[in-house]
Amino acid sequence: MPNVLHRIALIDGIETFYREAGPADAPVLLLPHGYPCSSYEFRNLIPRLADRWRLLAPDFPGCGYSGTPEGFAYDFDGYARFLEQFAEATGAQRFALYLHDFGSQIGLRLAIRRPTRIAALIVQNGDIYEDQLGPGYDPLKTYWANPTPAEKAKLAEAITLEGYRHEFLNGSEGNVGARIPPDLWTLHWALTDERRRAIALEVIAGLKENRDWFPRYQAWLREHRPPTLILWGPNDSYMPAGAARAYLRDLPDAEVHLFEDGGHWLLETHLDQAVERIRDFLGRVHTA
C-alpha cells in the first residue's frame, strides 16, 4: 500500500498535524474529522485510496497532535475557516469532501463559503436534519430548552474517558463493537487536557447555534446538487437511518448505502465495504 506521510505545517500560525498520501497531482479527497477524534479516524482509509487520489486529513486546532492556540475561534465558523486555509496551504483547489460527525457541518460551511471548490460529497453519519435527530440528542435538547449553568455542567460529564468510550462504541455491539479498538478512546483522552476539555464543552454547547444552520446546509445542497455518496450506520443513537434518507429530500440523485449492523464509526467496523463503494463512486465523479 502507498505510504502515509505524517506532516506538520503552520496554518495561519497554528502548528497543524496532518496525514497525507497519494500523488501530488491526483484529485483530492479532503477529510475533516469528527468528535472526539482526529485525523486518526482516517488512518486505515487513506492508504486504501492513495493509488488514485490525494488524501489530506488535518487535526483541527485543539484536537489530536495539532496545537491549541490562544485566540483561535473554537466554533464551527472558526474550524471552517481553518479548513479553508488548510486546503489553500496544501494546494487543494478543488476536492471531494468527506462529511462525518461534526466534520460534516464544518465541511458544509466551507462548501457555502467556496462552492466552486466542491467536486463531490461523501456523507457518513453526518446529520443536518433536525426532525431526524436520534435519542442520543436528548441531553442536548434538554440543555437547549434550558441553557443554565447546571444543565451545561451535565454536558461536561460526558467529556471523560468513559464518555469518549461511549462515543466511539456508539451503535456498535457484539462482534461489530469488538472491531473498534480501545486505542480510539484511550489515545484521544490522553491528549485531552483541561483546556481541551473546556473547548470541547463549548463546541458541544454550541451545537444549538449549529442546528440553526441546518436549513442553510440543506439550501446549499438543493442549489448546487453535488454528486453525493451516503454511507450510514443506522445503529447510531444520534443519527438513525432516517437521518441518512433525509438527504434525499435535497439530493434526490444521491447514492445511499445503509450498513444495517453498523454504527457511527463505519471506517472502524465496515472498512472494506466502505472502500469498495467510495472507490466506485470517486472513480465515476472525481478523476483527473
Beta bridge partners of 229: 122, 255
**Element (DSSP H or E) covering residue 103:** helix 102-113
**pLDDT value for 252:** 98
**pLDDT value for 288:** 72
pTM: 0.97
Is 116 a residue whose pLDDT tops 80? yes
pLDDT mean over 224-230: 98
Q: What is the DSSP string of 32-44?
A: ---TT--GGGGTT
Q: Helix 102-113 crosses helix 214-224 at what angle (to 10 degrees)?
A: 60
**Angle (nearest 5°) at CA 219 between 238 and 76:** 55
Q: What is the DSSP string of 139-168?
A: HHHHHHHS--HHHHHHHHTTSSHHHHHHHH
CB 170 within 8 A of CB 264: yes
Domains located in the chain, CATH noted: 5-135+213-285 (3.40.50.1820)
- pLDDT per residue as tens digits for the range 70-79: 999 999 999 9
**pLDDT value for 2:** 84
What percentage of the chain has pLDDT greater than the value 70? Answer: 100
Q: Which of 48, 37, 36 is nearest to 3 (CA)?
A: 48
Is 171 a residue whose pLDDT tops 90? no
Cell of 86: 488548510
Is 1 a residue whose pLDDT tops 90? no
Beta bridge partners of 29: 55, 96
What percentage of the chain has pLDDT greater than the value 90? Answer: 98
Secondary structure E strands in the chain: 5-11, 14-21, 28-30, 54-58, 95-100, 118-124, 228-232, 255-258
pLDDT mean over 178-183: 97
The whole-angstrom separation of Cα 90 and Cα 7 is 11
